[in-house]
Structure 1
Amino acid sequence: MIESPGLTGAAAALGIGLLIGLERERHKGEGQSRACAGLRTFAITALLGYGAMQVAGGLLVAALAITLGGLVTVAYWRSLSDDPGVTSEVALLTVLVLGALCSSQPQLAVTMAVVMAGLLAYREKLHHFARSQLTDGEMRDALVLLTAALVVLPLAPDRYIGPYGAINLRTICTLTVLLMVVGAVGHVAVRALGTRYGYAISAIASGFASSTVTIAAMGHIAAREPVNVKLLSAAAIWSNLATFVQAGLILGAVDTGLLRPVFGPLVCGALATALYGLCLMFPKTATNASQPIKVGGAFNLKLALVVTLTVTGITFLSSVMLRYYGEAGVMVTATFTGFADAHASTASIASLAKSGQLPFDAIAVPVLIAISSNSLSKCAVAWVSGGSRFALYVIPGQVLLTLAMWAGIWLL
């Protein structure tokens, strides 16, 4: 079979023109106010860009773009109205460039065209979201997240520095961005689902920031609303799902090979958590709870920075303990630091393994120790914040998920 790369590129360019052209044709309008370009114009423009690139390269494409820009400017002024838009005109120029791009990277051009078509098709929903749904705080958080992910993270050097070679700036930045992304995803989930699923969804989302704090919050609510203690206890237990998921995400972000030793324990712990929470939910409990726990902004930047600094300190301490006391030193460090934050301990252990100071197969036990000690601190928090009745439901769940997690080590 004879391959025809030129024909493939032309077909991709035509497809792009037809895709964007169909969407624009539906919003072209009629009469004097109709837009200047529709299905045929977009299809021809895409083919024009591809042909120009094949004949004379980028110089001809640039000349055509200037000419096309002049034509659409004239059309724009002729159809000027009270609320003129330049979306179709900009889309037409973009289609010309995408048609030219099909000569060298048709897959990229088609991908960009699909994204562009989606932005055009969901114009009204995007406008409504930006104007009515998105708050100033969420917009600020989105800008911070994009800056961290697209500017700071790529510039961070990927090498180990400092005493004992324990600090990797790329790993630290990756974990910080991951904390912000996970918090933002949880926030979006709560905004999208509303309060229908109440405390459970809110607790899981808040658990990505801090499961211990979430359990404390649920305990305070249970003290005020004892009729909903089982419902709130289930939500508190389900916040542990975030702990297991985030531990897996942290390990995978550092190196996907780190997931293999702990995959079984994390899955078993998560399953036990989900099942115990469901048992508390049924039979049906009272549902007149006032409102779910507040998740706050899209993410907690202060918390992400604090965790990052904590990870750095624990990583350094673990490196020192590893150097002088071997793997037993790492386990002792994981035990004590896990009382405060299992995620920071997990990240530090992952960093040690990534730097070659700790074998990949040796991370399972210290990671499970960190999560277990954190589970113990959650039991104490449940008793103090919610009283004996709340703790009576939460503590058995914490014990069960911890035992299930350790039992999962046999699945390795």
Structure 2
Amino acid sequence: MGTPTDVVALATGLGVALGIGLLIGLERERSKRAKHPGGATGQAGVRTFALLALGGALAALLGSAAVYVAGFFVACLGVASYRATARSDPSLTTEVAMLVTLLLGMLALSSPAVAGGAGVVVATVLANRRRLHRLSRQWLSERELHDLLTLAAAAFVVMPLLPDHAIDPWGALNPRRVWMLVVAVMAIGSLGYLSLRAFGLRFGLPIAGLAGGFASSTATVAAMGERARSAPALVGASASAALLSNVGTVVQLAVVMGALSPALLSYLAIPLVASGSVAVVVAIGMGWRAFSASNDRVTIGTGRPFEVMTALRFGALLAGIMLLAAMLRARWGPESLPWVMAISGVADVHAAAASVAQAVTTGGVDMATAAIGVFAALVTNSCLKCAAALVKGGRSYALRVIPGIAAIAIAFGLALTWA
């Protein structure tokens, strides 16, 4: 007899396995009844899947020999099930689901949380068969699917292979962090593209802009600039989304400073609220005409979610700026904090703010100097956004975005003088 903890862990694993089997089985039962409302079909249903998941858990408990027997049994069961239903339903979905259910049942004993989450994902995928088919056959074009696969490869194949440490003498160039910026540009472009397709002009781009701001406001400004250049009718909406991304920047600044130095957050509370409020106002004001347009559904079938070379050039530019900032910081020393923060803020205002907050916590800098450093980083980062708006989006887009970005930085500076 094991300890009470072991008994609870065993009961939890078996309970999760049973829940996974019931969940997937209910979906398969509903699916087969929808296809064959007249009676029995010979396909596995809720009881079969529940027993398969429990059988997988028990096999994992008994040892490797039982696992082999269970796997062989499910393979034979799958073959028999397919042969019985091949004429009426040639799909292999149920048979594959049987194998997956067995494996999830085995996993439930050692990792019940992972197995439970995976079981929910499996059931969701099975239940959304028609939506997924419509997505792949009607909604996404071949070129769009290729671009999304490129994004997935960049995020899940290339990025894990890159070293997660600095490779230069100044400790500035981290290949994985630089590549994350490249992926952010592609992901934000894809998010904006898909949001526009799914939610229309009125809600699609604002959602993408606000969400993108939490990843990288600079990347969002660049991605929305590409959207505006490829679809001139969306210049106003793209500019509004780019300005809305600055709300994410302000919120993230507050989170970073609050985590590292609550005293600095309290000192800069009024400037942060002021700049965030201005960001919301200018974004709504800039996009009001676009949001109230009658053609809420915009057709963009000839566009692309992102341009790979544009994202690569953007990453290379930021990497060069980060390297230059590190070289100058090493040359000038810590006494030139505001100037160094100004240069560092070009590449990443949040990293610069984190550095300042950490210095305040350790007593290396006083509050007033730290506040000036944060403001300097925000100003230079705003300059980079303005440059990105002009280069990526063109003159019309830049004329809409640059005044708004300048107003946000000015609001922070004015509030800082009054704080």
Paired positions, count = 393
Q: Which residue of 2 aligns with 1:236?
A: 239
Structure 2, unmatched stretches of 5+, are none
Sort the Cα spacing of 1:141 and 1:59 in 2 relative to 1 into closer, same or farther, 3 A. farther
Which amino acid is the alignment partner of residue 11 of structure 2? Answer: L
Matched, 1:40 2:72: no
Where do 1:6-405 residues align within 5 Å?
Answer: 6-29=10-33, 30=36, 34-55=41-62, 57-81=63-87, 83-197=89-203, 209=219, 211=221, 236-243=239-246, 245=248, 268-279=274-285, 287=293, 296-326=303-333, 344=347, 346=349, 349=352, 364-374=374-384, 385-386=395-396, 397-405=404-412
Structure 1, unmatched stretches of 5+, are 226-230
Sort the Cα spacing of 1:148 and 1:335 in 2 relative to 1 into closer, same or farther, 3 A. same
Sort the Cα spacing of 1:380 and 1:62 in 2 relative to 1 into closer, same or farther, 3 A. closer
2:338 & 2:292 partners in 1: Cα distance?
Answer: 43
Sort the Cα spacing of 1:248 and 1:169 in 2 relative to 1 into closer, same or farther, 3 A. farther
Answer with 31-40 or 131-140: which moved more: 31-40
Please state how far the C-alpha of 1:184 moved relative to its aligned partner: 2.0
Q: Is the 8 A contact 2:322 2:344 kept in 1?
A: no
Answer with 207-216 or 266-275: which moved more: 207-216
Q: Could you tell me the TM-score, scaled by structure 2's length?
A: 0.74
Sort the Cα spacing of 1:177 and 1:198 in 2 relative to 1 into closer, same or farther, 3 A. closer
Q: Is the 8 A contact 2:32 2:41 kept in 1?
A: yes
1:61 & 1:400 partners in 2: Cα distance?
Answer: 65
Sort the Cα spacing of 1:15 and 1:234 in 2 relative to 1 into closer, same or farther, 3 A. closer
Which amino acid is the alignment partner of residue 191 of structure 1? Answer: R
2:31 & 2:108 partners in 1: Cα distance?
Answer: 26
Deviation sequence 1:177-203 (CA, Å, 0-9, x none):
222222222222111112345886788
Q: Could you tell me the TM-score, scaled by structure 1's length?
A: 0.75
Q: Which residue of 2 aligns with 1:228?
A: none
Identity %: 29
SS of residue in 1 equivalent to 2:407: helix
Please state how far the C-alpha of 1:14 moved relative to its aligned partner: 1.2
Q: Is the 8 A contact 1:379 1:398 kept in 2?
A: no
Sort the Cα spacing of 1:235 and 1:54 in 2 relative to 1 into closer, same or farther, 3 A. closer
1:377 & 1:350 partners in 2: Cα distance?
Answer: 21
2:18 & 2:204 partners in 1: Cα distance?
Answer: 49
Q: Is the 8 A contact 2:197 2:298 kept in 1?
A: no
Sort the Cα spacing of 1:201 and 1:80 in 2 relative to 1 into closer, same or farther, 3 A. closer
Which amino acid is the alignment partner of residue 245 of structure 2? Answer: A
1:234 & 1:17 partners in 2: Cα distance?
Answer: 47
